[in-house]
Structures are given as C-alpha cells and as structure tokens.
Amino acid sequence: MKVLITGGAGYIGSHMALALLDKGNDVVILDNLTTGSKQIVPPKANFIEGDISDLNLVQKILNEHNFDAVTHFAGSVKVEESVLNPLKYYENNTMKTLRFLDCLINSNVTKFIFSSTAAIYEEKKNGLISETDSCNPSNPYGQSKLMSENMIKDLSKSTNLKYFILRYFNVAGADPQLRSGQIDELSNHLIKSCIDCVIKKREFIEIYGVDYDTEDGSCVRDFIHVSDLISGHLLAIEHLVNGGDSDICNLGYGKGLSVLEIVERVKLISKINYNTKIVGRRKGDVSRVVANSNKMMSKYKWKPKLDDIDNILSTALNWEKQKLKILYEN
C-alpha cells in the first residue's frame, strides 16, 4: 500500500509515517517544514519539501504516484494563536484543504483520512463528548477544522470520495522507541512545557486560569498517547482501502486530568520540582474536554495499548532528554 502524508515531518504525521513503514507500506511525505523537521522524517520515507497549496507540485506528486490513501495532517494547531490571528487558520486549515481536495478529486484519489479536533464541539461541562454531540467551536482553530469537515462531507456526496474524519483530544507522548516526538520548540503544549521546566529550558510554567468550574479550578483534558492515536489511523486507512464507507470517530481515552494534576504528575515522574505561575485564562480555552471513543472501539476494534498517563509522560520525558543529549554531543 502507498500512502501520501501531508505534514509528515511534524509531530503526529511523523508517527503516522513510522507506523506505516513498520508494516511494510510505502510512504510519501509532503511538508513545508514550517513547524516540522527533517530530523524526524523516517529514512525510508520519500520526503518532498513543499506546501499543499502549491497545486503544481501537488499535481506532479499525484501524477507520479498511485496512492491508495491520503492522510492529511498539514495545518496550524494553536488555539490561542487562532484567536489572535484567525485568518491564518482559515487559510492554512480550510482554504488550503479546499484546494488540496480539488487536486485529489481531479486525480481520482478517493480515500482521505482527515486530522480533526475535539475543538469543533460545543463545550460540555459534564460527561463525555460523543460524535453526535453539538458542534459549536469556541475558537477559530475549531471553526477552521469544522469548516473543513463540512467541505469534505459535501464533496463526498457529489464525488466518489470516501473519508474518515478522526477527532483528536489532547495528543501527547512520544514514540516508545524514541524515533519521533514533539519538535516544535515554540509549542505551548502543557506536557512539553512541564518537561521543559524539568530539563531547565524554562524557568516556570504558566497555569492559564484556576477559576474554571472544575474540581481544582484548572482546565480538564483527555490526554491520548500519540502511538495509540496513530493505531486508530491505521484502522481508518484499512477500513477505507477495503471498501468501507465514510465515517467520523473520536480518539481519546475517556479520562479527564486537570492541568494542575499534570503539573504535579510530571514532578513525581521526573523527581524534579519546578515553579508554576498562575495567570489569567487563555483566549479560546474551555473548561473540560473528555472523549467518548466507544464508537472507534466497538465498530473498528481500536484497542489502546498505552492508556496510562505515566506512559505518556515517561515517553515524552525520555524524548526530550534524548534531544538534549544530541544537542550537547553536537
């Protein structure tokens, strides 16, 4: 099987490439390296530097390869940035996806796996979020992804496109073999920020609000290990390639952990204390986001293997330590 991965030099996309290659598949990666890095591109992947909005390049790639499926990770992912610069997100996540889809349809590429987000949902302060719950994003990032979802669904009604939309909750951790992990040094991801404090890359971590309607006042999130997230993608690809119908599924563990709980857990795992600073709420954040992933588990037999916060934190910490070691050696 041959798969095109957009954003394959990024955090999640590189794990997708590793998983496909581990199973003996052919992989072509298209990435503009805005936030990605060649350092985590697997050696066996065919890497092409470029943007999905470069339609001549995209068409050339599609003409040269017979892809069984396309997995689309390329885009912008920071909630607060989307509030401050919404047009960037509508351009990168929605308009570029529109143009890219047009190329796929013109080349008769009909199996499309889309990287979406729990940020499309309306805030639900109690209980788990299911795929049938209301979609009402609280920030432009979520809006840009929801608009893309709607485009994909509409396009599938008028063409032979089959899609599988996967709505991520909070992705974290690193490849257990430490072949890939977080590489964006400007990332504001909670766990990476905590670990940066552990390895002395940050002096403290900012806590964005402790006045939410949660048990300890900080935001609650559902953290899923990146490797388990990718195993869901493998099932989605297999489903479409084998002739399955379009579908939408959540990917999360159904377990909520607060920001303050994560901060303390990282201290415990690392055996290193670090400072925190309470600041005001961050624009675009909601109080609680926890998944109901029963559909993915029951219908597609998805079985998470790293469903434990300590696994997530340990692999993330080991990855950052390895990066630091390589930096010092060079």
Which residue in the block uniquely carries the two structure tokens 């709505």?
167
The reply to whether 181 falls in a domain is no
Do 116 and 209 share a domain, yes or no?
no
Instruction: Please count the helices (runs of H) and the strands (runs of E) in the chain.
Output: 11, 14
Do 137 and 271 share a domain, yes or no?
no
Q: Catalytic amino acids?
A: 141
Do 232 and 295 share a domain, yes or no?
no
What is the H or E stretch that residue 325 is in?
A: helix 309-329
Separation of alpha carbons 318 and 314, rounded Å:
6
Separation of alpha carbons 63 and 81, rounded Å:
36
Kind of pairing, strands 204-208 and 288-289? unpaired
What is the H or E stretch that residue 71 is in?
A: strand 69-72
The reply to whether 179 falls in a domain is no
Q: What is the pLDDT of residue 328?
A: 45
Q: What is the pLDDT of residue 327?
A: 44
CATH of the domain at 52: 3.40.50.720
Q: What is the pLDDT of residue 330?
A: 39
Do 62 and 113 share a domain, yes or no?
yes
**Closest Cα to residue 194, out of 129, 143, 263, 142?**
263
**Closest Cα to residue 23, out of 238, 222, 212?**
238
Q: What is the pLDDT of residue 325?
A: 63
The 3-state secondary structure of 116-182, one letter per residue: EEHHHECCCCCCCECCCCCECCCCHHHHHHHHHHHHHHHHHHHCCCEEEEEEECEEECCCCCCCCCC
DSSP per-residue codes, 196-248: HHHTTS-SEEEEE-S-SSSSSSS-EE-EEEHHHHHHHHHHHHHHHHTTPPPEE
Coil, strand or helix at 58: helix
Q: What is the pTM of this model?
A: 0.95
Measured CA to CA in angstroms, residue 288 lies from 19, 20, 125, 212, 319 at distances of 31, 33, 6, 9, 28
Residue 196 belongs to what domain range? 190-220+254-329
Counting the structural domains of the chain, the total is 2
| Amino acid occupying residue 35 | T
The reply to whether 111 falls in a domain is yes
Do 161 and 214 share a domain, yes or no?
no
The reply to whether 98 falls in a domain is yes
Domain boundary among 212, 236, 251: 251
Q: What is the residue-level pLDDT of the chain in tens, covering all 330 positions?
A: 999 999 999 999 999 999 999 999 999 999 999 999 999 999 999 999 999 999 999 999 999 999 999 999 999 988 889 999 999 999 999 999 999 999 999 999 999 999 999 999 999 988 999 999 999 999 999 999 999 999 999 999 999 999 999 999 999 999 999 999 998 776 778 999 999 999 999 999 999 999 999 999 999 999 999 999 999 999 999 999 999 999 999 999 999 999 999 999 999 999 999 999 999 998 888 999 999 999 999 999 999 999 999 999 999 999 998 876 654 443
Q: What is the pLDDT of residue 12?
A: 97
